[in-house]
Amino acid sequence: MKIISYNVNGIRAAIKKGLYDWIKNENPDVVCIQELKARQEQVDTTELEAMGFKHYWMSAEKPGYSGVAIFSKIEPKHVEYGCGIGKYDYEGRIIRADYPGGSIICTYMPSGTSGDERQAFKMGWLADFQDYIDDLKKTIPNLVIVGDYNIAHEEIDIHNPKGNKKNSGFLPEERAWVTSFLESGFVDSFRKIHKEPDMYSWWTYRANARPNNKGWRIDYQMVTSPLEEKIIDANVRNEAFHSDHCPTYLEIDL
């Protein structure tokens, strides 16, 4: 199974920049989208359906905000919309597709960059998400959790670790959460394959950051430990320019 995960920073804008053509050329089995900023009825899905994708949307209640979706050529056994916690489901932060070999969760984790209130919301989310996943693993041990985690884990995952150590997305408590999450039974599929630095998935639009590769790796495809040996390949697709993020790629024998 070939899985693409992509924070598109507005799916309608990304489509205008050639997203559908890029997906067609990439030819994945599953595409997980974050930051839709749209409802399904606002998006022309004709080309998507022509490529053979069934599509499932968990948009935010607030217009033009957040939202996640899964496009799949393989019809899932079941699709779960949200996590059952109202304040997160209101923002459209989780959707899950169940397949015979395991489940794919597409998530858009909160950002804390707008201030203390949202940072507190983010930290609450991280604790609740861990509890949600711990409970889910009891019935579905094979999980692939993809999306924008809004945290750069290690110094290798950010271009200026010293200058960003007090910024949301690279705070010690956020990084410690990623470490704890991995220790709870997950593998960072990208780092299993790639040990080299300067491999990022997000660049600010300011200060010519992307041409200079001054980025952060905040987008992940985490897999539960039983799936580690089933990872075939993992990478970032940094040649894709439909967003301030680039897609992540995972090939796994699910």
**Chain segment 25-50, per-residue pLDDT in tens:** 999 999 999 999 999 999 999 999 99
- pTM equals 0.97
Q: Tell me, what's the pLDDT at 193? A: 97
Cα 89 to Cα 200: distance, rounded to the nearest angstrom: 28
Distance CA 52, CA 72 (A): 8
Sheet of strand 2-7, all strands in order from the earlier edge strand to the far edge:
54-58, 68-72, 30-34, 2-7, 248-252, 231-236
Write the DSSP string, 203-241.
--SSTTTTTTT--B--EEEEEEGGGGGGEEEEEE-TT--
Tokens of 74: 């393989």
Closest CA to 23 of 41, 50, 43: 50
pLDDT at 110: 98
- Low-confidence residues in the chain, pLDDT < 70: none
Q: Range of 147's domain?
A: 2-252
CATH number at residue 45: 3.60.10.10
Residue 97's identity, in one-letter code, is A
In tens, the pLDDT along 108-141 reads: 999 999 999 999 999 999 999 999 999 999 999 9
Residues in the chain: 254
The domain total for the chain is 1
CB 167 within 8 A of CB 174: no
Phi (first) and psi of residue 32, to 5 degrees: -110, 125
Known catalytic residue: 157? Answer: no
pLDDT of amino acid 68: 98
User: pLDDT at position 204, please?
Assistant: 96
Pick the catalytic residue from 29, 98, 148, 233.
Answer: 148
The confidence score (pLDDT) of residue 238 equals 96
